[in-house]
Amino acid sequence: MSHDLGHDSTGSGGLLANKVLWLCVGLGLFLIVGFILPTPQSLIDTISNNGFAAKMIEWHIAHDARGAADKTMLVLGIIPMAIVFFATEAIPIGLTGVLMPILAYFLGLLPRGMIGKTFAGDAPLFLLGVLAMGVVVVDVGFHKRLASWILGWTRGFLVPIFVLCVSMSVIGSFISAHAMCAFMTPVMMAVYIGTVMANRSGGQIKHDHALAKLLLFSLCYALNVGGVGSPAAGGRNVIMMGFWDSYNVPMDFFTWMKYGLPMVPVLGTVVALYMLIIFSKKIKYKDLTPGLKTIKDETARMGRMKYREYVTLGMMLVILLLWIFGGHDLGLGGPALLALLVPVIFRVTDWKKILNGISWDAWFMYCGALTLGELLKESGAAQWLAESMMAVLASFNVTQGFGLWVGVSSLSGLMTNFMSDAGVTALLGPIIIPMGIMSGHLAEPWACGLAVAFATSFAHFLIVGTPNNAIVYGLGVFPDTGERAIQPVDFLKYGFVLWLLSLAIVWIIGFLLVFNFVGFPPGILETAKQAMESGI
């Protein structure tokens, strides 16, 4: 059977195909920022006053505050270079990930013992297990049953897309969005290949790249935006709740839901509308019914669930329960690694098939992103960027209420595309909450905290922003050719506008409507102010 891949104009042709150009651009930006631009005095003050310089001197990677600031400038130079490389694949995306610890080693940006830990901690093991889980789900055919259960009752084109986006955003508010992404990415590709197979002519498959991107990005972004719905959606929300506890103004699970969950269906609907507007004119096959029917027919032919499927389903449920109830003792990585062990021990999938099916490019890329995030945090670069943004807000007199919430949510939403969402929340929380308290608004410090936590769900425009992005990139391949359905630059092309739209929904629906309708408990500002003044 022959295959007509039919690359569209959204691929990596044209200017983006000039890898040498983008390699030079990335290296040039790194050299300019890291070695040519003068070190701002504000940066020296930040790393000196907040203990970063002392820490680097203790680590023997700098001799004085000036030298420590120079190290921080090198980290700031890595950021634009990494963005260019990740977006354009000037070098292979996995190699860009490997470049992060290499630079950390040879430029002496972290103690050598720490660098390895940043590249192989709990989060990388988690992503490795999730990618392996996706391979197993596809190998046993369980993704077809998932497709039949979730989307099998829908017909046409619009209804499946809206059902997908709204259901995934709501589900992503309560269980691991990363797990759902791993389960559902193969489902999207199964629906896709069933649709294009039904429309083939003369034995040729004419791929519809726009349709594949619509399905994958709809899934990914719907799961991303679900993070605002409840504390269960991610560690960042729990971290913010811990900050409130330290100021004697705790928030419970269901109170968070009152503020966050009403926005989730709206955000899911916006994802669906935006994806349809972007891709509808480019899509060749605007009826998913054949693909959904093919999946249902194949599921029917599979008959009742068999041994391999039961083991796979049991493994998924065990891992999910361990994620939910294991808490900090187990983390996410340990349970996820069961996806490598269980299928082999119980003879569900061959070990070599799992190894060959894992997207190592996506894994190395994400590990490198974690190293970059650690560099930003430990060097003081993230602290300086946050303080600089706060100074900009103050210069515009945006220091209270709606304006402050818009400002801090914009900052956290931007930073979460470069660092882990939990890292952004952990960094900004100690800065933002006192700002909110000092603003004197009666909704503080809850309002500022929610603004930060909500926006960290919107890591839409860089592939390294969240494991969801890495998962759809790694598992979203055409079954017949193995070609990737999406490219790293697609996240920037299609995700940036959606990032702005997501923030706008939070500003309008969340800050102006939900905050006013639900209200805030009387006295939280005064209680938090007393706690801050007493040094609790």
Residues 325-336 have pLDDT tens digits of 775 677 778 888
Asked if residue 178 lies in contact with residue 126, where contact means CB atoms within 8 angstroms, the answer is: yes
Residue 189 lies in a domain: no
Residue 203 lies in a domain: no
Distance (Å, rounded) from C-alpha 349 to C-alpha 56? 47
Distance (Å, rounded) from C-alpha 274 to C-alpha 33? 36
pLDDT band per the 50, 70, 90 thresholds, residue 535: low
Instruction: Annotate 175-209 with b (16+ C-beta within 10 A) or e (fewer).
Output: ebbbbbbbbbbbbbbbbbbbbbeeeeeeeebebbb
pLDDT digits (tens, 9 = 90+) for 358-410: 888 878 887 887 788 788 888 988 788 878 877 887 777 777 799 999 999 99
Count of domains for the chain:
1
Residue 291 lies in a domain: no
Residue 529 lies in a domain: yes
pLDDT digits (tens, 9 = 90+) for 424-463: 888 788 888 888 888 889 999 999 999 999 999 999 998 8
| Structural domain that includes position 235 | 1-115+159-176+218-285+360-536
Looking at the DSSP assignment, which residues form a beta bridge with residue 206?
Answer: 4
pLDDT digits (tens, 9 = 90+) for 291-308: 888 888 888 888 888 999
CB-based contacts of 186, cutoff 8 Å, min separation 6:
134, 137, 138, 143, 475
Residue 461 lies in a domain: yes
pTM of the full structure: 0.79
Burial of 222 (0-12, 13-18, 19+ CB in 10 A): buried
pLDDT of residue 328: 61
CB-based contacts of 84, cutoff 8 Å, min separation 6:
22, 25, 26, 29, 90
Residue 144 lies in a domain: no
Residue 520 lies in a domain: yes
Q: Of 96, 62, 91, 63, whose CA–CA distance to 78 is shortest?
A: 96
Residue 3 has pLDDT above 70, yes or no: no
Residue 345 lies in a domain: no
Q: Of 189, 219, 212, whose CA–CA distance to 283 is shortest?
A: 212
Asked if residue 322 lies in contact with residue 330, where contact means CB atoms within 8 angstroms, the answer is: yes
pLDDT band per the 50, 70, 90 thresholds, residue 14: low
In whole angstroms, how far apart are CA 496 and each of 264, 489, 502?
19, 11, 10
Q: Of 35, 40, 1, whose CA–CA distance to 385 is shortest?
A: 40
Looking at the DSSP assignment, which residues form a beta bridge with residue 3?
Answer: 205
465 phi/psi in degrees, rounded to 5: -65, -30
Number of CB atoms found within 10 A of residue 115's CB:
20
Segment 195-206 shows an average pLDDT of 81
Q: Which two tokens stand for residue 269?
A: 């609907």
